[in-house]
Amino acid sequence: MASAAVEAGSAPIRPTFDFEKHARFFRHFLHHLPAAVEGFDSNRQMLLYFCLSGLDVIGALEKVITVEEANQIIEWMLACQITELPFRSPILPKLLASKPELNRALINDQVVSHCGFRPGPWLGHPFVPHANAPMHEFDTGHIAMTYSALCVLQILTTAHYQPQQAAAGTATTAPGGDVTHQAHSPLVGRPLRELVDAGAICRGVRALQLENGSFRGTCFPSESDMRFVFCACAIASMLGDWSCVDIDRATDFIVRSQAFDGGFAQEPGLEAHGGSTYCAVAALYLMGRLNRIGDRERLVQWLLARQVSGFQGRVNKDPDSCYSWWIGGALHMLGAADQVDARMLVSFIECCQNHDLGGFSKHPDTQPDVLHGYFSLAGIALYGPLMEDGGYPLRALDPALGITTRAAESLPRVLPPSS
């Protein structure tokens, strides 16, 4: 060991990663999440996205998830899709009967605006393996859950299962010797637009855009910012239908959110932030409007200036592994990834690697979690190949959609009509 360290004086030590262990980490959390993450109960689709996209990046998806399981996951997700059917038990009339003076703006009774994916079945609707009606006015999709769900569905439906493997889970031999399909036909392999009710999703997203161009997460009064502008654009791009975004307004909101130092903020006036800068750049990229950025040179400078070893998310903050994706992905879309010190970044990510459990943490020496696990892995996938001695056996990522290029390949990738 000592001699290796001495030799390293001339050739820097190559960061190493135990990807098999990381695959086990994601596989584990796919089923067992501790009570400590109860606060993520309203983000279960997102947790699922981290686990499955992580497995896809590692190239372990088909190895650790059988096709039967993949079908079951798709069914669980479809059960969370709200489609444009009337509320099963509307509560607004009841509320208004008891409290006629109630402010109607607080509760939305337009079914269309409820469409999209729920975070999970948390409001108690009975399980059905397909899209279904909202239970009542408070049962709504959330734009970030819809984005996460579409990513996961696209990953699973484009997974490469062997034909016999795919058939094994879906067909049985009937007494007469005929092969009959079970009640649930295979979902893996179907195009995304056939798996989901794309029209309902688009109309639902459209209903969330505000006058200022930003989007709310849900149809009742709630916060709106750059995160949801990105989600709307990613949904539009994945479904190949831009009718859900008023792109002029969205562009205007993004452009106005560029801060004086070049980075983008969650909304106009706020501080430039790595997460919102990713969302802004990816949304413009997906709309084919990167040329609308007022000061692109300062933006690239701001992004590159975030590298202190790993990337920090804001000026004068500590580096954090998740910005490997937010800052790193934005630089990829802007064509400036080659100006990053890739080895330094990957070495920082290595320091956040957890050797006992697998996964990665926010900072070196803290506990790993699936979010930082996934974004660290994404950073290695983005920047490993830019190291002098080459990358790692990971699948390439699409920096704008947040899924592997393999998963993204079959998507229509339509730009909005130019205006």
The count of other CB atoms within 10 Å of the CB of residue 266 is 22
User: Minimum distance between the CB of residue 399 and other proteins, rounded to whole angstroms?
Assistant: 18
Q: Are 149 and 115 in contact (CB under 8 A)?
A: no
User: Minimum distance between the CB of residue 308 and other proteins, rounded to whole angstroms?
Assistant: 8
User: Minimum distance between the CB of residue 92 and other proteins, rounded to whole angstroms?
Assistant: 8
Nearer to other proteins, 65 or 352 (CB): 65
User: Minimum distance between the CB of residue 415 and other proteins, rounded to whole angstroms?
Assistant: 26
Nearer to other proteins, 39 or 86 (CB): 39
| Residue showing tokens 């606060």 | 39
User: Minimum distance between the CB of residue 90 and other proteins, rounded to whole angstroms?
Assistant: 9
Nearer to other proteins, 272 or 283 (CB): 272
User: Minimum distance between the CB of residue 344 and other proteins, rounded to whole angstroms?
Assistant: 6
Nearer to other proteins, 149 or 286 (CB): 149
- Cα 63 from Cα 104, distance rounded (Å): 51
Nearer to other proteins, 252 or 267 (CB): 267
Sign, CA dihedral 76-82-86-89, equals positive
User: Minimum distance between the CB of residue 149 and other proteins, rounded to whole angstroms?
Assistant: 12
Nearer to other proteins, 75 or 414 (CB): 75
- Cα 34 from Cα 367, distance rounded (Å): 14
Q: What is the DSSP string of 222-239?
A: --EEHHHHHHHHHHHHHH
| Residue showing tokens 């079945």 | 121
Q: Are 125 and 132 in contact (CB under 8 A)?
A: yes
Angle between helices 370-383 and 19-31 (to 10 degrees): 150
User: Minimum distance between the CB of residue 368 and other proteins, rounded to whole angstroms?
Assistant: 16
* Amino acid (1-letter code) at residue 301: Q
- Cα 14 from Cα 29, distance rounded (Å): 29
Nearer to other proteins, 13 or 128 (CB): 128
| Residue showing tokens 């413009």 | 284
- Cα 70 from Cα 73, distance rounded (Å): 5
Question: Which tokens is 330 given?
Answer: 């934005």
User: Minimum distance between the CB of residue 139 and other proteins, rounded to whole angstroms?
Assistant: 8
Nearer to other proteins, 85 or 220 (CB): 220
What SS3 string covers 63-118?
HHCCHHHHHHHHHHHHHCEECCCCCCCCCHHHHHHHCCCCCHHHCCCCHHHHCEEC
Nearer to other proteins, 225 or 241 (CB): 225
Q: Are 78 and 196 in contact (CB under 8 A)?
A: yes
